[in-house]
Amino acid sequence: MGKAVRVVAADRGPMIGAVGPVLSAWIARLHERSGVVVDSGLTIDSVEEGPTGATVRTSDGNVHEVDVAVVGVGVTRALEWIEKSGLATDNGLLCDVDGRSSDPDVFGAGDIVCRHSPSGREEIQHWTAAMDSSMRVAHALMDLAPPPPELSAYFWSDQHGCRLQFTGSAGMGSTIAVVHGDLDAYEFAAEVVTDGVVTGAFASNSPKQFMRSLQRLHQQQRDAASVSSSESERPVV
């Protein structure tokens, strides 16, 4: 649209909490390639409305005259009404992997849920997770066997002509191994490696290669689950 755009964010890089530092740096380059200036690690000190726009002061002391200021600072779940009803909460409606709350007759699905699974506390707020969790709830309500394990924290996002896909997790010390394509060509698939273990997969405009990495991750999860269940079946001596 020919407008200059500047993104100011408190995090050390775009989406860094979800995708880790290496891919976050790549996403910053993706924005910059399209002419978007990314100012990471800064906060907004003030916004003053003027006759034709606004004056924005950032924590580095700079002043920006803008036509439009878009504020996107995230959301927090409104839990007071749930807490009043006596249901257990923990930064969300506390549910097990099948969406059962602390009251066996009340189920939760989607963004409101903070799920407790064997791997710990999970707050996953994505479209796919919302759909998957509602399917699990439907199975539990109908007393049917639970569907197969869902994609772990899967999301996609369309940015500057790239379909970005991510699943799994990426710690702050994570690195990536490119399994297809080229980062500079903006078409690639990579596996995220944390402490020597593949913990996630990311792709830009490479859905087939992403699916392959995803299948490997699922197999890894299944193998880990079967090892832990066979260990728990061992008699205690």
Ligand X SMILES: Cc1cc2nc3c(=O)[nH]c(=O)nc-3n(C[C@H](O)[C@H](O)[C@H](O)COP(=O)(O)OP(=O)(O)OC[C@H]3O[C@@H](n4cnc5c(N)ncnc54)[C@H](O)[C@@H]3O)c2cc1C
Residue 173 CB, shortest distance to ligand X, in Å, is 25
Computed over its alpha carbons, how large is the radius of gyration of the chain? 21
Give the nearer residue to ligand X in terms of CB position, either 20 or 110: 110
Helix, strand, coil percentages (3-state) for the chain, rounded to 5, are 30, 30, 40
* CA-to-CA separations, 28 to 6, 12, 151, in angstroms, rounded: 12, 10, 26
Residue 123 CB, shortest distance to ligand X, in Å, is 11
* Residues at the interface with ligand X (CB under 6 A): 110-111, 125-128, 130, 155-157
Q: Which helix (H) or strand (E) holds 121?
A: strand 120-122
Residue 208 CA, chain-centre distance (Å), reads 20
Residue 128 CB, shortest distance to ligand X, in Å, is 6
Residue 130 CB, shortest distance to ligand X, in Å, is 4
Residue 131 CB, shortest distance to ligand X, in Å, is 8
What backbone phi and psi angles, to 5 degrees, belong to 7? Answer: -105, 125
Give the nearer residue to ligand X in terms of CB position, either 110 or 193: 110
Residue 82 CB, shortest distance to ligand X, in Å, is 11
Give the nearer residue to ligand X in terms of CB position, either 81 or 230: 81
Give the nearer residue to ligand X in terms of CB position, either 130 or 138: 130
Paired strand residues for 165: 156, 203
Give the nearer residue to ligand X in terms of CB position, either 26 or 193: 26
Q: Rounded to a whole number, what is the distance in angstroms from the first to the last CA of the chain? A: 70
Q: Could you give the CA distance from residue 64 to residue 47 in angstroms, rounded to a whole number?
A: 10
Give the nearer residue to ligand X in terms of CB position, either 77 or 116: 77
What is the full DSSP assignment across 66-118? ES------------HHHHHTT--BSSSEEE-TT-B-SSTT-B--GGGEEEEET
